[in-house]
Structure 1
Amino acid sequence: MTVVQLYARDVGTGTPLVLLHAFPLSSAMWLAQREGLAKRFRVVTPDLRGFGGSVLGSDDPSVDAMADDVARMFRTLGIARAVVGGISMGGYVAMALCRRHPDVVLGLVLCATRASGDDPQTSATRLRQADRLERDGDVSVLVDEVLPNLVGPTTMRQRALVYGRVRGLVQATPPAAAAWAQRAMAGREEAFDTLRGLKVPALVMVGAEDVLASEDDARAMAEALPNAELTIVPRAGHLVPVEQPDLFNQAVAEFAAALSRASG
C-alpha cells in the first residue's frame, strides 16, 4: 500500500466542510465554494489521488483506497469530524468513507452521484476509456466522450465561460490518474447498505438536467438514508456546484449550519 498524502486547499474557520471533487476534475472545481462558504465554515477541498497536486501512488485502483486517503487527510489536518460532501466520483468516495471511517462523518452531502454499482455497459465503457488513456497518453477520449455530459444544456447555451472552464479542467487531467480512477469506479460495490446504516443526516442533490446521475438515482439514495432531504437544482446538469454555485452553496450552508447547531 502507498501512503498518499493528499494536497488540499484549506480555507476559513468553523465547522469543517470537506468537499470531494468529480471525475475527471480536481479541487479547482470548488472555487465558488471556497469563496462563498469559507466565511462560515472551514472549507477543505482535497485533490483525490493522482489529480491536481496529489500523487497517484502504486496501489491497485480502488475507491476504498481513495476513501482511506481522505481519512488520513483528516488526521493530518487535525479534523475530528466534518460535513463530507461528494459530487459524482467524490460521492462514491464519500460513501466509501462512511462505510470505512464512519466516525469522521458529521453529515453527508451527495450530489450528482449514485449508490448503485455500474451496469455492465457503463463498466465496459470505463475500462475501454482507461485503456485508451493509457495507450494514448492524453485525455482526448475524455474530451470527446465525458466532457459533453458534464454540464447541462442551459449552461451550454447561457454560460459559455463555465463550459470553457470545465473543458480546461478536463484537459488538465493527468491521463494515468484518469485511467486509475475509471478502473476504481468500475470495480466499486453498491453502497445502499452503507446508506441505510448511516447515523448522521444527509442532503442529496441532483441537477434537473443531469444525464449521468438521474433524479431516480437521487431519490433511491434519499429513500435508503434514514434521515435525508432531497434537492433538485434547476438549470444544472452534472456539475451543480459549478453551474449553479449560489443554489448549491445556499443548500449546503443551511444543511451544515443546522448540523453545527445540533452538535454544538
Structure 2
Amino acid sequence: MYVRSSGERGERPVLLLHGGGVAGWMWEPTTEHLPAGLRLIVPDLPGHDRSSEERYVSHDHVATELAAVIEREAERPVAVVGFSLGAQLAVLLAANRPDLVDRVAVVSAQATPTKAPGLTLGLLGATAPLAKLQWFAKLQAKALFIPAPLMDDYLRTSARISRETLVTTVGENIRFTEPPAWASFPGSALILAGEGERGFMKKSARLLNESLPGSELEIVGGCGHGIPLQRPDWFAQRLWNWLASES
C-alpha cells in the first residue's frame, strides 16, 4: 500500500483515510489548513491511485493492513480520520484495535445496509467501464465536490480503478454495519455528517453516536456528502480543536 507521511515521528500521529473512488490527495485542502506539529499518515487504499495494483479484498483485510501501517509509521496510538469508505475503516480500526487508535473522527460513514445490494452491484458492474472515460469522470467529480486544482488527480485515479475494485469496495460499503466492539471503544469519537446528505447517511451517524456512549455527533450545515472538500478550512479547524481537546 502506498503511504505518504509528513511531520516528525514524535509528533501527534493522525491517519487520514480517503473515500472510495478518490485517494490520499483528497486530504490536501484539509492539510493545507492544519498547523504544524502533526505526524500525518496518508495512504492510498488498495485499488486506488498509487495502490491501484493492490487488490481490495475486504474491509477486514484492509483494516489489518492499516494496523501494520500504524505500527510502522507511528510511535504511539493514532487519531484516525476517515471519510465515507475510509470512515467505515476508521470505525473498524477503533473497534478492533484500540491499542493502536486512541481517537477517531468518522465523517459520512454508512452504517445501515442498503436494501437489495445485488441490484446495485449488478448495475455498477455493468457501468464500471464508464469510470475510465474522461467526460463521465468529470461528471462524477462534480458530484463528489472535487475542486479544480485536484481534477487531474481525480481523473488519474478514476482511470486506474478497476471494475473489481469498484464492485468490491461498493459491496463492502453498502453492507457495512458497526462491529460489536464499537460500543466499547474507550477513546474519543467525533461523528460528522452533512446536513444535505441523504437520510440514511444521517441516520447512520446517529446510530454510531447512540451505540458509543460519550461520542460526539455533529450534523454540518452547508454540506452534502463531501465535508472535507466542501468546507476544508472549517473541517481543518474542527479537527484541530478536537485534537487540541486531548486531556
* TM-score, normalised via structure 2 length: 0.84
**Selected match of 1:172 from 157, 162, 171:** 157
The aligned counterpart of 2:68 is 72
The CA deviation at 1:64 is 0.7
The CA deviation at 1:62 is 0.8
The aligned counterpart of 1:26 is 23
The aligned counterpart of 2:147 is 162
Matched, 1:39 2:36: yes
The CA deviation at 1:145 is 8.6
Report 1:139-154 matches (<5 A). Answer: 139=132, 143=137, 147=141, 149-151=143-145
Matched, 1:87 2:88: no
Contact 1:127 1:182 in 2 (8 A): no
The aligned counterpart of 2:121 is 126
Q: What is the identity, as a one-letter code, of the residue corresponding to 1:150?
A: L
2-structure distance, mates of 1:78, 1:40: 14
Deviations 1:77-115 (A, max 9, x none): 244310001110001111222233221111010001122
1-structure distance, mates of 2:118, 2:220: 27
Contact 1:200 1:227 in 2 (8 A): no
1-structure distance, mates of 2:182, 2:244: 22
**Selected match of 1:10 from 1, 5, 12:** 5
Q: What is the identity, as a one-letter code, of the residue corresponding to 1:94?
A: A
**Selected match of 1:105 from 98, 101, 106:** 101
Contact 2:49 2:156 in 1 (8 A): no
Structure 2: state its 5+ residue gaps: none
Matched, 1:220 2:207: yes
2-structure distance, mates of 1:147, 1:99: 32
2-structure distance, mates of 1:196, 1:28: 31
Percent identical across equivalent pairs? 22
Question: RMSD of aligned C-alpha atoms?
Answer: 2.8
3-state SS, counterpart of residue 219 of structure 1: helix
* TM-score, normalised via structure 1 length: 0.79
2-structure distance, mates of 1:209, 1:167: 27
Q: What is the identity, as a one-letter code, of the residue corresponding to 1:89?
A: L
Q: What is the identity, as a one-letter code, of the residue corresponding to 1:240?
A: I
Structure 1: state its 5+ residue gaps: 1-5, 152-160
The CA deviation at 1:206 is 1.1
The aligned counterpart of 1:50 is 47
Moved more, 142-151 or 188-197: 142-151
Contact 1:19 1:44 in 2 (8 A): yes
The CA deviation at 1:203 is 0.4
The aligned counterpart of 1:181 is 169
Deviations 1:26-67 (A, max 9, x none): 0010002222225132121111012121244357x3111111
